[in-house]
Structure 1
Amino acid sequence: MIGKLKGTVDEVGEDHVVVDVHGVGYVAHCSARTLSKMSVGEAAALFIETYVREDQLRLFGFLSALEREWFRLLQSVQGVGSKVALNVLSVMTPGELANAIALQDRAAISRAPGVGPKVALRITTELKSRAPSFAGEMDSAIGFKQELGEGVASAPVSDAVSALTNLGYSRDQAANAIAAALKNGGEGADSAKLIRLGLKELAR
């Protein structure tokens, strides 16, 4: 089982990269986002997911172990195979995908080729409680966004997020700003204070 490849990029294709490791060329299928960061002749280190079938052996390459974990997790959802999982990771970073699931933002996930409304719904629903955990502040931010997505956040918090989105910020930007504002302003802060602190965060 191959878990990681470290070598030199020999070729960058439409959906794969060839990594030369001591004279042996390994073909690894990657997301468009990963491929965009590969250049022929440059050093490369990829985390690998190995699929062995009766008639073939396929390698999938990722820039981080976290991205590989999301690739595995996405395929646990009905209707999501390796191709669709790579498509999702082509248009979203692991952090953006975690945010979309926490906020139940099906539209963001539907931007990936091959992901229709039903599949996006299954991804956001089935992975809501199974998404990889993030350390430190990201952990609390994801938990906060899950509260927003589930409609159980407090009224001041929901109002503050709505106010920032009405000002033209994306729901994700607003949620990040209010999460930071809540940390600085305290649990008892009213919506006006949260909006003020949130705007300060966005102005940084």
Structure 2
Amino acid sequence: MVTKEVRLQSTVAGLTADGRVHTLSVWFILALRLMMGLAFFQSGLDKVLSGEFGAGGYLTGAVPDSGSPAADLFVAMGNTPWFVDFVNVAVPWGELLIGLGLLFGAFTRLAAFWGAFMMLLFYLGNWDVAHGYINGDFAYMLVFLSVAAFGAGRILGLDTYIEGYEIDGQPLVERYPWTRYILG
């Protein structure tokens, strides 16, 4: 089997990064997608089935105690009853749906975006910089962003089929180019 060398190159703010992709890269990207999918699915499922998730005390008590630079914002959210009600539904169901999206490789970029957003909020809420600014929440946020950037839903995922679904003889992503931002 002859494999073609694949190179990645990107320029941001005048700085160019260039690299070669190893043939095993696809398996590691798939592993990252499945790992985060399983982690979020399990976490969300536990919260949904137990029905015991509540964000109010965390937002008003734990976050300010952590020394987070966003503590005032979290306290304001925790003191807004409708917002706490929203978070009490959005976190468990969001984790569950993000997990399913990643496990099945469906709407992967959309799922990864919301996963990264949740991890950013967890990072700010669980502020602990005693050992530096990089912790598990920050690392998971970068994993979600990597999953999105590499279009990991196309690797043994449903996004391949969704993108190719024909509407009036034209693949979905060609007919509706904006879908590239949520699929892949």
Fold match by TM threshold 0.5: no
Higher relative contact order (CA 8 A, sep 6+): 2
Q: Return the TM-score normalized by structure 2.
A: 0.29
* Between structures 1 and 2, the one with greater helix share: 2
